[in-house]
Amino acid sequence: MVSFVVGLRRFLGALALLLLAHGGAAAEQPTFVGRSGTKLVVNGSTFLFNGFNAYWLMNVAAQDQAKVTKTLSDAAAAGLTVCRTWAFSDGGNAALQSSPGVYNEQVFQALDFVVSEAKNHGIRLMLSLINNFKDFGGKAQYVQWARDAGESIKTEDDFYTNAKVKQYYKNHVQKVLTRVNTVTKIAYKDDPTIMAWELMNEPRCRVDTSGQTVTAWVKEMAAYTKSIDSKHLLQVGFEGFYGSTTPDKIKLYNPGGYKYGTDFITSNQVNEIDFTTIHVYQDSWLPKKSDKERQTFLQQWISLHLNDSVNVLGKPMVFTEFGKSKKTPGYSEKVRDDFLSYVYGLIYSDAKTGGGSHSGGLLWQIMGDGMESYYDGYEVVLSTDTTTTAVIKKQSEAMAALANKPAASHD
């Protein structure tokens, strides 16, 4: 009888995992991810996760939905539960927004499909609303639209201050947040499948390296975003560079001591910002350093920002981009696997000892089979990169095992 009960429990546990991975009942009714002090929470329990970046989902879904479904299915099978992707594509061919306020319905329906499929596979989305860089349009496209409309534009960084450009951005925010999904019939602002909004991918500002211009923009746009949608979490999209309010940290910790026009502290102090983010690309940021020096930098970058997030800002932190490029000298799959194991170990240790303040990490990046035209050197194809997939799955299981205690409610 005892063996029967044990066997039944094992069967039910396996069935629950199967349903979660393949979009069964456990994934059909998600609830919103919230924040309790320095932790992310769901239904009163600490929300910890292992996740990934797949910026391309909307664009590929417009042409090949099966590839998106297969990738999300493989990700769910590896225990990945959060995905960061683009909710923008500005100007050019097959863009979501071809000109200010003019949207391609076919591409928007592709984003609808991505949200629906993520829900079906038990994966929450972190949706970014614009790019700092020219890829997929970005702030350069916005200022060009304004220039074409007769505005006096000097640089791309007028994006942060020009009234017309700021209105273009607000219009896009409103369009996306109030969009009613054609598949699920749920407005994006009401869909808990979406974990969080990201104001911009990797904001930077060359004309004001203090960070004050970007912080003023964050204050305005965070307040505007929350005025439309108070249910979802919001983050800036930072890499983690320090600004003028912490000059010692610029010199000691910003790669090369450079100023990037952002201030990790002041922008994340904005009330409407719910959690901090960091990115790390130590190989490209520190090309002349040794592997040991890069590893030391990586460890310090994470611990420094986690300490600031918890003790200065009182907010959780998510490691939203990291990876190992195949273009790095001396690369091998073992080198990548060892790197990921090291990073995952740091995230797990932080999550365990810090009570969940380091909520999780998002690998850059997961791609599907036959996507060679998208490859950037960082791609991981779960169905073929078997040793790396095993490393990822092990981290997913470890983070899931930690997320089993109620988070204390506090401001």
Residues tagged active-site: 202, 321
Q: How far apart (Å, rounded) are the C-alpha atoms in residues 260 and 257? A: 10
The angle formed by the CA atoms of residues 106, 156 and 364, to the nearest 5 degrees, is 60
Phi/psi at 146 (nearest 5 deg)? -65, -40
DSSP string, 13-77: HHHHHHHHHTT-HHHHS----EEETTEEEETTEE--EEEEE-TTHHHHHTT-HHHHHHHHHHHHH
User: How many Cβ atoms are within 10 Å of 148's Cβ, its own excluded?
Assistant: 11
Give residue for tokens 């995230």: 347
CB 362 within 8 A of CB 319: yes
User: Whose CA is closest to 141, among 199, 209, 93?
Assistant: 93
CB 168 within 8 A of CB 175: no
Secondary structure of residue 251 in the 3-state scheme? helix
Q: Please list, residue by residue across 77-108, b when 16 or more beta carbons sit within 10 angstroms of its beta carbon and e when fewer do.
A: bbbbbbbbbbbbbbbeeebbbbebeebeeebb
Give residue for tokens 């996760």: 49
Residues 6+ apart with CB under 8 A from 365: 52, 53, 54, 55, 323, 376, 378, 379, 380
Give residue for tokens 């910003």: 254
Rg, the chain, Cα only: 21
CB 79 within 8 A of CB 396: yes
